[in-house]
A and B are shown apart, each in its own frame.
Chain A
Amino acid sequence: MGKNVLLVDDSSTMRKIIGRSLRQAGLEFDTIFEAGDGLEALAVLEKEKIDIVLSDINMPNMDGISFLREKASRDAIKDIPVLMISTETGDDIIGEAKSLGAVGSIKKPFTPDKVNEVLGPLL
């Protein structure tokens, strides 16, 4: 049985680009789930079997940092790894994300090679 990924970004364009980059990087997933913010992402995680989450930070309703904090408080989903994909590169913000359980980060803009380099070893 293959793996499932959840893409969390308020931009539908960016979700499509990330999905395309995964394919171009040769990273195969059974299903690519999508969510437009942290709240939607939590709902997907509670319902579906997700192996890894790729999440933006700046989003409406619930941002990526709040999403990590809320996810960490829920036993059923707290161990699902989250990789941040964001324009945010500041040490403070990325450091906070990692302290809340993020396993790494990719800066926008990115190439499929960069996605493969960071995400590949996590799968």
Chain B
Amino acid sequence: MKIKKKIIDSTIEIFSTMVMMDISVENDEVEGSGKLQDTITGVIGLAGIHKGVLAVHIPYPVALAITSNFLGMDVNEINEDVEDAVGELANMLGGNIKTVLTENGRDIDLSLPSTISGSSYNFQPSKDVIKIVVEFGTSNGHFLVELQLEK
């Protein structure tokens, strides 16, 4: 529960302070991300005393709105700016989640952010994991934040 609360609090803080976009928690007990369609996913890997990934799955219209707000200019196509913005979102979320998993910072390393996008794909773990998935709403649609930690 502590981790889920941190995911929710960190996501809301990032969106209110840096994306300048109002978001709301739509569902904090989503079972999984399911089939992702016309979506871009930002991913951060965690390695060390906890192993796993932090992912943010953002449908294209929401990703365009987020990037436009981030940059203060209209962005109308999925391009490098959108990939960079979504990767940085994942990076900030990963860094914030890390603070509830470790206190000193050196026993969990974060990877550099990467992105995946496509018209239809699944985001599946290759190992047995604990999943926490939270759905957030914006005026442009919904997006998911997913944490997978190896058991």
Contacts and interface: CB of A to CB of B under 8 A. Distances in A.
A122 interface: no
Nearest to B80: A12
B99 A111 contact: no
B78 to A, nearest CB: 14
Contacts, number: 69
A2 interface: no
A13 B70 contact: yes
Interface residues of B, number: 28
A13 B88 CA distance: 8
A108 B92 CA distance: 6
Nearest to A86: B95
A90 B92 contact: no
B23 to A, nearest CB: 13
Contacts of B105: 88-94
Interface residues of A, number: 24
Interface in A1-57: 10-14, 16-17, 20
Contacts of A121: none
Contact of B18 (A17, A60, A94): A17
Interface of B: 13-14, 17-18, 67, 70-72, 81, 84-85, 87-88, 91-92, 94-96, 98-99, 102-106, 110, 112-113
